[in-house]
Structure 1
Amino acid sequence: MRGYFRPRAAAAAERAGIRTGLRWKLSAAIALVGALVAIALSLVVHNAARVSMLDNARDLADERVLVAQRNYELSGRLNFPNTRIDDPGLPEELRRKVEAGRRATYVADRPGGATEIWAAVPLKDGHVMSLHTGFTDRSSDILSDLDQALVIGSIAVVLGGSALGVLIGGHLSRRLRKAAAAAHRVAGGEPDVRVRDAIGGVVRDETDDLASAVDAMADALQQRLEAERRVTADIAHELRTPVTGLLTAAELLPPGRPTELVQDRAEALRTLVEDVLEVARLDGASERAELQDIVLGDFVTRRVAARDPRARVRVVHESEVTTDPRRLERVLSNLLANAARHGRPPVEVTVEGRVIRVRDHGPGFPEELLAEGPSRFRTGSRDRAGRGHGLGLTIAAGQARVLGARLTFRNVRPPGAAEEEPPEGAAAVLWLPEHAPTNTGSHPLPRLP
């Protein structure tokens, strides 16, 4: 059985993906909404102010033309500024209203942005008196100042909204990051960690609901896994007695080929039961290392020679480590058995400081197992007819965790070779920690270079 801890596809997606923070997304959204609202309000205010000023200008022109009409009818002379009798430039629409006997005003927008105000009134002699003025400079200045104030206000709204978005998004992002970190700790095997307690805070929001849901899910999964572990352990424990009796009975059979076959299968069944029990104990996270100081290179050389004399051992750099020799020997034996079963000779074991590498020259680890990691009762054979039960590397990985070590797997390819090319072998690497596990089982994980 072959395995690997981190999916390559996930790592590639993480490298290729574009990561953006929640605070910046929220800030951009608030800034965009603020800009749209500011623009809409600015247009409404600008148009309302312009309409109001034009109405005032029309009322003023209407009053002035009435005064000019009275003066003209009393004195017979046209002495009021900007007034004319039967002005040929009078707009046609305004002329028709006045000829119908109505006093009216009119606003005309000329090319170039100039605005003209017209007021006209019918005279008793049938002529038309009109007053023609432009939009005053003071009104234009007021509109210009108003537009400037609206622009400044819109910019302030956008900047303020962005700052508010950063603050709100930052607070929410921090809570989510704390929740994610706590969830990763739970996934890493710390069942006592509570996501809801990790995020803290007094005011409850959707983040607290999410954290509570994650805690509930983690509790349910933990209970389920514990129930499965107990069932597996109980079944394996109950099988030990009949399997032992089967081995004893097989020894009483008369010598011969059938007897050898029965004894071989009974021994394989006992090995399977013992492996299942060991996996159940490792899953319970109750195993503790019994530490001793050993010289790693010498220890590995002797154990490999006893386990597989054909394997080559090379000590690049000797070191003294504090670890559990029995568990380390178990990890090493399983890696060697895996290489012998699924790989091809020569099997090479290299010791360099605190790092042990076991390499074979076979077809390499299956890609699905590299992606998903060691899995019990699954081998590299697609038709499930391969040799072994898939427990070897599962036990090796579990024992490595008890030692505070890290066990990784990879395929060996020539330098510069493409991923599609077949590998030249498989390598399992055991990274022993710099500091040994404590009595409580806690330990720092080693950093990969």
Structure 2
Amino acid sequence: MTARARLRLPAWTATLTWKSAVFITVMCCALAALLGALVHVSVSRQTEDDFRERALARLTTASRAYEAGDPLPRATGIDPEDLPDELRALALKGERGTMAGEYRDRPTMWAAGPADGRALAVRVDYSTGSEIIDGLDRSIMGSSVLAIGATLLVGAFAVTRVTRRLHLTAQVARRISAGDLDARVDDPRTKVPGRPQDEVATVSGALDTMASSLQRKLQTEQRFTADVAHELRTPLTGLSAAAELLPEGRPSELVRDRVKAMRGLTEDLLEISRLDARNETVDLAMHDLVPLARGVVRASGTVTEVRVVRDAMVETDRRRLERVLGNLVANAHRHGSPPVVLTVDGPVVTVRDHGAGYPEYLLASGPQRFRTESGGKGHGLGLTIAAGQSEVIGAELVFGNAPDGGAEERLTLPEYVRFTGP
């Protein structure tokens, strides 16, 4: 199986769902508070007005009885002690008025008027009106809480459906960026003709269209690369055979060398086309890493120092791992400066030279095929193949520059089972 990049779903933190839920809650609370205040003010004013009219009506009756010399009605008196001072002063000025207050710790609506230089006052029990207002406030509070809770649940449910679709779209986008060009959102809302599409469906459809277009273009490029490499094989084979028939000499050596380079380039193109197609299979087995690394250095025919910090038994595809290490060693000698050192530290293999190091574009974006710098220096296909084969075997290949100069590649193999001493 081809090793794939592992994808992780986004962490459930302060997402759009919670932000929307908070916004809905705040708006519901503000609306409930506004409506509750309006209802409270309206009902309180109406209730107070009713009790004020009742108190004034009793005051009129009491004034008539006082002027006629008849006994005053119940809950009526001249200058009672509990009469509010403001209302007493108003009556002494010859005016009538009402005021909510208390009588023996009970809510009371007072009404007072002038009576021979004194204050004639009546009181009406206001407990019923106070209870009505308190009950109304409790009802408003309870209904507001229920309404906020219901609105919050409905709003959160509606927003969650949208955010779930957005998370799916984002996940598919990550899969596409990781190389899975078959990934699609397939939003059913985009497949019904004449059905109105919301913004999420529009984004999902655009992402699917982009992925299909990108896949077609990449497949066309892959087929072109593979076709070119296959077509070059036949004339290069004939050219190689013809070169062998040339008489010995410097011109013949140059022709054979160029033919060999062309054949190597053709094989590299074929290998890249297979890596781009992502249909490679791996042959996993257990291998000692140090002997494998030393064998790669011997096969390269270069002067490369092998340092062992810790040996490791790794499960990998031997042929592909040798290809990766061989390309890294060859690139270090071709584009760097000696000494070249290959270090094995457990499952981590580092190849380092002492040249000018990697350019910024390679450190930022990885190796690019056939890119050449202004000075005529480039990196060909070796590093591209090394990066592709590393991904196939599930290893992590990181390109960097050493602090004291020189390029450095760190290959971390995915699994190992034991360590042994150097």
TM-score normalised according to structure 2 size? 0.71
Q: Within 5 Å, give how 1:15-414 maps onto structure 2.
A: 19-68=13-62, 71=65, 75=68, 79-80=72-73, 89-90=90-91, 136-151=126-141, 153-155=143-145, 157-158=147-148, 173-196=163-186, 210-241=203-234, 252=246, 255=249, 267-290=260-283, 294-315=287-308, 316-319=310-313, 321=315, 323-325=317-319, 327-378=320-371, 381=373, 383=374, 385-389=376-380, 391-413=381-403
* 1:351-374 deviation per Cα after TM superposition (whole angstroms, max 9, x unaligned): 345443323334443343233223
Q: Which amino acid aligns with 1:386?
A: K
- 1:285 and 1:401 map into 2 onto residues whose CA distance is 10
**Helix, strand or coil: the match of 2:302?**
coil
- 2:257 and 2:125 map into 1 onto residues whose CA distance is 110
| Alpha-carbon distance, 1:429 to partner | 0.9
- 1:88 and 1:188 map into 2 onto residues whose CA distance is 86
Distance 1:363 1:136, change over 3 A: farther
Distance 1:406 1:320, change over 3 A: closer
Contact 1:243–1:270 (CA under 8 A) maintained in structure 2: yes
| Alpha-carbon distance, 1:133 to partner | 5.5
| Alpha-carbon distance, 1:346 to partner | 2.2
Structure number with higher relative contact order (C-alpha < 8 Å, ≥ 6 residues apart): 1
Contact 1:361–1:425 (CA under 8 A) maintained in structure 2: yes
Structure 2 counterpart of 1:431: 413
- 1:72 and 1:354 map into 2 onto residues whose CA distance is 110
CA RMSD, aligned part only?
A: 4.7
Instruction: Structure 2: state its 5+ residue gaps.
Output: 80-87, 102-106, 189-196, 418-422
Contact 1:32–1:158 (CA under 8 A) maintained in structure 2: no
Contact 2:312–2:416 (CA under 8 A) maintained in structure 1: no
Distance 1:214 1:91, change over 3 A: farther
Contact 1:350–1:356 (CA under 8 A) maintained in structure 2: yes
After TM superposition, the structure 1 stretch with the greater mean CA deviation from structure 2, 132-141 or 222-231, is 132-141
Q: Which amino acid aligns with 1:395?
A: I
- 1:364 and 1:223 map into 2 onto residues whose CA distance is 36
Instruction: Structure 1: state its 5+ residue gaps.
Output: 1-5, 7-13, 96-104, 122-126, 199-203, 414-421, 436-449
Q: Which amino acid aligns with 2:352?
A: R
- 2:325 and 2:135 map into 1 onto residues whose CA distance is 83
Distance 1:238 1:134, change over 3 A: farther
| Alpha-carbon distance, 1:20 to partner | 1.8
**Helix, strand or coil: the match of 2:339?**
coil
**Helix, strand or coil: the match of 1:351?**
strand
Q: Which amino acid aligns with 1:36?
A: A
Contact 2:16–2:163 (CA under 8 A) maintained in structure 1: yes
- 1:157 and 1:172 map into 2 onto residues whose CA distance is 23
Q: Which amino acid aligns with 2:225?
A: T
Q: Which amino acid aligns with 1:188?
A: A
TM-score normalised according to structure 1 size? 0.67
- 1:269 and 1:364 map into 2 onto residues whose CA distance is 27
Contact 1:338–1:393 (CA under 8 A) maintained in structure 2: yes
**Helix, strand or coil: the match of 2:376?**
coil
Number of aligned residues? 387
| Alpha-carbon distance, 1:35 to partner | 1.4
- 2:89 and 2:178 map into 1 onto residues whose CA distance is 92
